[in-house]
Structure 1
């Protein structure tokens, strides 16, 4: 590559005394201002990168904790990086090395890739890393996408978790050059599928600029999921069909605009808990070379303190690190049009300077709660990490909703006959008040899910007892062994019609339980039409047919797709099935029925002995439509049909008594996963409830 020009040229400093300048590259009329926070640095050079790879290095002026300067004639599309000078003393956490070309933490676009084979990407080498690492791109301001045509209330939300590339990589209607990109996801055919399904919100697996870890690349595999962020402001360039010199920003905004025009929210899965620089021996790409001691949690001797399982953990006890996160979040809302965030390993973000979980006084929680921009979007935590006391389901408080891992485990256990009764299931069906009802939150604080990107798909959950991750080249050691799955008697795919029928019924049971439970349902991409990963429960490194959406499946699994659409439509049409408030077990209107009644197989309400019967797998849930704590837009009290949800999670027919006429005179069967029930049932009748089935009856 051309020799780097190492002659430093001073450039005009920013306003003296400006302690909180706008960080990053800010395009102005006749040039661009560059500002970097690096308080411990002794010198900072801005490296402007030409098309031939040569560089012009310019010194930035030191103003407080910031280094800043204006460069005339530089505009959008200019590639650049930083060289930060200072002491190199890893045992004390200092990792300065000006031979490493560093990415701007505030870069709005990133160009180039990481040369995994080069030793120059590591700070143990004095060689120049330029040409071997991704670089920053100057991006000018532009109009944000229009807001969604009609905001989606939490109580009406149905989330669809998808992978930006995997959803359209095989889509036959999307132009080939756009498949797997932001433009592909915005294609009318892709959006029409989601509209017809009925979901209100897409949750995109990470789209912040990310990298594959060197150890994974050495196995010949990529990081497909994207949980390895390099740039918190930049849309991942690989998902752009139009270019990586800022075009990815425009294409991403156009995608958001298309979703908003269709009435669908865009939620981002964001990874602020760690970065792509990995552990102590990882590459130096940005944060490590700018201020290692500030950005990362360190242990004794400058080692990385890791509660994420990735080699490093971002230190949110530092105010400037929190500023980076808050600036990033606000940027994605205000400039990129995002409607919400799901925070990966969110417990890491609320650990204090002693690395302890602080759910009371951590400034990140208070700053998020007080922020007016973030106050208008959806906030979802993954309430755990891998450190001490890392499992915090139910503890985040307002304004957070949470991935409810207990819902997943309870529902899986019930349908595989391993639940020990129905007591825990009742909490999950009714909104998990035991987790979220004691801190002022509502049922939609519970993000209910049975599957997610991490683990088996729904089809694999009923087809495999063991993980089959051999394609990951880790000798099947990776991925969880706690799958709570049941293969219905045969491991893997089979042509046995009885096993296939049982698996389809189990999939219907699991999907029905998910969507009809109180809370916010989250459906994993393809679960509505039988997507399989061949038993791989950790497909993070499978950028191929294992992970991509197979667009022949909606036709092959039309029955599962139709069921999912029907369930979402029922939920959307009937407020009774998507309650915004917790149940009291009491009448809401004078003379009315209880808002919720639990019905035992004998037809009466559940008794204390019923609740403690560890062998009970059959239960009914009566939801009174005249007991809604809700109003329409004019403030009028809403009423709706009443419903009886009954499930039999045993492998035998269970005779159940329908509640007497004090609840309802008769019922219409609107959903039956066994497809064998009669269409109408009288009050007080004894009905043989088929094995392994869920039935929804509407009171007449």
Structure 2
């Protein structure tokens, strides 16, 4: 069966029309296949499953080429359910749900036949993807559907449901926007939704529509039916059309607010093999095996899909295309992308971008969960030049340290990470990426400790915050989770009236500030903007609402933090210099100007990427104490738009100094104001005398002026001496100076010299004579006037 060729030009699954419905199933090893039609969803047992599939109308299917079985049934079948009855040798048979099913009954027990026209919200035909130019224009926001709205303080009616995203105009008692309006206010461009396809481990018939501290919960990385929305997110999972319509309503609502939608996809494994979507149809084909014939376990959950096989590759591509076309999904994040071969990923990118939408974002995790026999894994580096991006764990580690422990990085207090942070801020183009559009920069996501908890643990505050040791979604000591959460106080270290004064808050803002001010594609985790905590739970995939629900009351409590995030995102979105895409652009316009002593600073020059600001400086200070940083020389003032308390596009203050003091654990962003020359510049007049009176080619090389460094030419002669003028910022104490011939053909003095600038003087006169070593001093004393 491994020699099977991909059936590229055939649509599998069902083809519905009111007049008749066609059915196609690829089952090459079957002796015979029948279509089973049912009037209802079947009888559910106490576990929420339908075990008995007898009693349907059996329709014989015909064998076509390459293992495809087909049947056509006249009449309108909308509202009916179906299964396939697959016969094996010796009269054995089993029932299977169509792997290509686009609609299912509750808990995915049977496939459902629906009229697509009845599964679209009003105006769906006019739904438009928001404009999007290039990957680095994105600001991603990773979010779980249930977490978004399930909290009692969310203000949303449709708690835990797709429809919660359709609720507009919601505000808390203090006037703060909630729900989808909060996302608009924050300024993100894409919502990255954790899996919304039908997954296995939540019983859709009993899933609570209200906050449930210890109820069934899952992130959704346990696939059951890849082409159907999850029923627990629908208001009525027993009606197949409802989950489809409401999922589209969510996407439509986000599009209307200018936000694109990324779908988290899990094509690397299924929840189980035996009762998964494939094994009952084509035994032994869809899963990867090791050299001994055993199921490989690179996913860490017991199986891997064999993406390199033609019909597995076709299934993945068909599924993605279906979501992109039918649901208007705007991009895909691949779970454990390394378990999908590079050829498959490359074909996905090329086909979706060319045939669906050139703005689709494709990215994923470039690692596995264990060993795999797959040869051409999609690791970091394989994405170079192929149009997709990968998560940047190098940068993540440099910023925060390890994922679940007290290990530290630049923002959490460790030294010697300046170089790795600088590399990440450059878009990792000298690490694994060819272009900045190939790196997704982030600090934390749903996996592992979230940002607030990681910072607190790195500071040794586990017990002070009352964090909870969790095992299998419950407190390890057997206590009731609500009691534990109620007793916890993750924010005990924060001053009530001044959150931004907290060391932990500063470290959080520093960490995600670095992400948002770096080249590449930034991603932040839902709730980071108001210090969401998961009470120390580093793997909350089934920990329930008490741990996972987004507590919207934190928005009022930490308004200054939220405003800071809004400001940084607005700055990034309004200034293309922070969103360069190509290596050539970055190498031409971006320069690291400081990378030492827990300080990283860079300059964006020459209106980078068409930015209206000609020169921008970004400084990140990882020290507890303030640090002085020298600014690039310019005759213009510097406007500060980001400091330790405020962020955005508006001018906070202006400085004419040659350097700036950056408070500890903070960011600073400045831009050169071409409408304002520096005030109180010091004019240094230099006279140069040569005994041979040969001045052709001689010039000054200066540094430390704060205005203009580099070559300064002698502009005129007077009384046999060449004269030049150097301008310095008012706070400059000394200027480096060398007299040289052309480009270093010769120079006066073997040692560098410095012009000492007296305090509070606007004009300084200096006389230099050829061949004189100024009494072998390393300074030239200026005469003030």
The TM-score with structure 1 as length reference comes to 0.78
Q: Over residues 101-149 of structure 1, what are the superposed CA-to-partner deviations in whole Å (9 max), with x where a residue is unaligned? A: 3221111122223xxxxxxxxxxxxxxxxxxx72211133336652224
Deviation at 1:302, TM superposition (A): 4.9
Corresponding residue for residue 151 of structure 1: 132
Q: 490-499 or 329-338, which moves further after superposition?
A: 490-499
Corresponding residue for residue 203 of structure 1: 192
Aligned pairs for 1:590-629 (under 5 A) are 595-600=589-594, 616-624=597-605, 626-629=606-609
The alpha-carbon distance between structure 1 residues 475 and 558, as it changes in their structure 2 partners (threshold 3 A), is closer
Corresponding residue for residue 394 of structure 1: 381
What SS does structure 2 have at the residue aligned with 1:293? coil
Q: Over residues 514-539 of structure 1, what are the superposed CA-to-partner deviations in whole Å (9 max), with x where a residue is unaligned? A: 11111111111111111110011111
The alpha-carbon distance between structure 1 residues 659 and 225, as it changes in their structure 2 partners (threshold 3 A), is same
Question: Which residue of 662, 666, 669 corresponds with 1:693?
Answer: 666
Asked if 1:267 corresponds to 2:265, the answer is no
Q: Over residues 471-494 of structure 1, what are the superposed CA-to-partner deviations in whole Å (9 max), with x where a residue is unaligned? A: 5258879xxxxxxxxxxxx99553
Deviation at 1:680, TM superposition (A): 3.0
The alpha-carbon distance between structure 1 residues 627 and 582, as it changes in their structure 2 partners (threshold 3 A), is farther
Corresponding residue for residue 684 of structure 1: 658
Asked if 1:191 corresponds to 2:180, the answer is yes
Asked if 1:384 corresponds to 2:357, the answer is no
Question: Which residue of 423, 426, 429 corresponds with 2:422?
Answer: 426
Corresponding residue for residue 72 of structure 2: 70
The alpha-carbon distance between structure 1 residues 496 and 238, as it changes in their structure 2 partners (threshold 3 A), is closer
Deviation at 1:380, TM superposition (A): 1.0
Whose strand proportion is higher, 1 or 2? 2
Question: Which residue of 399, 405, 409 corresponds with 2:393?
Answer: 405
Deviation at 1:174, TM superposition (A): 5.4
Whole-Å separation in 2 of the counterparts to 1:289 and 1:375: 35
The alpha-carbon distance between structure 1 residues 629 and 671, as it changes in their structure 2 partners (threshold 3 A), is closer
What SS does structure 2 have at the residue aligned with 1:287? coil
Q: Over residues 446-469 of structure 1, what are the superposed CA-to-partner deviations in whole Å (9 max), with x where a residue is unaligned? A: 111111011222211212247854
CA RMSD in angstroms comes to 3.1
Question: Which residue of 94, 101, 106 corresponds with 1:107?
Answer: 101
What SS does structure 2 have at the residue aligned with 1:462? helix
The alpha-carbon distance between structure 1 residues 419 and 349, as it changes in their structure 2 partners (threshold 3 A), is farther
What SS does structure 2 have at the residue aligned with 1:521? strand
Q: 47-56 or 311-320, which moves further after superposition?
A: 47-56
Asked if 1:254 corresponds to 2:254, the answer is no
Corresponding residue for residue 295 of structure 1: 286
Corresponding residue for residue 230 of structure 1: 224
Deviation at 1:437, TM superposition (A): 4.5
The alpha-carbon distance between structure 1 residues 97 and 334, as it changes in their structure 2 partners (threshold 3 A), is farther
Whole-Å separation in 1 of the counterparts to 2:356 and 2:432: 21
What SS does structure 2 have at the residue aligned with 1:621? strand
Gaps of 5+ in 1: 1-17, 89-95, 114-132, 351-358, 478-489, 589-594, 601-605, 611-615, 631-637
The alpha-carbon distance between structure 1 residues 408 and 173, as it changes in their structure 2 partners (threshold 3 A), is closer
Corresponding residue for residue 163 of structure 1: 144
The alpha-carbon distance between structure 1 residues 184 and 363, as it changes in their structure 2 partners (threshold 3 A), is closer
Q: Over residues 637-675 of structure 1, what are the superposed CA-to-partner deviations in whole Å (9 max), with x where a residue is unaligned? A: x53242211122122333x2432534x533222212267
Q: 410-419 or 332-341, which moves further after superposition?
A: 410-419
Corresponding residue for residue 591 of structure 1: none
What SS does structure 1 have at the residue aligned with 2:340? helix
What SS does structure 1 have at the residue aligned with 2:456? coil
Q: Over residues 147-172 of structure 1, what are the superposed CA-to-partner deviations in whole Å (9 max), with x where a residue is unaligned? A: 22423532321111111121012265
Corresponding residue for residue 560 of structure 1: 561
Whole-Å separation in 2 of the counterparts to 1:165 and 1:229: 17
Whole-Å separation in 1 of the counterparts to 2:321 and 2:494: 53
Whole-Å separation in 1 of the counterparts to 2:646 and 2:75: 70
Aligned residues: 591
CA contact (8 A) 1:35 1:67 kept: yes
Higher Rg: 2
CA contact (8 A) 1:583 1:596 kept: no
Gaps of 5+ in 2: 1-6, 44-54, 171-178, 207-213, 401-408, 478-487, 674-785
Corresponding residue for residue 640 of structure 2: 669
Whole-Å separation in 2 of the counterparts to 1:185 and 1:549: 14
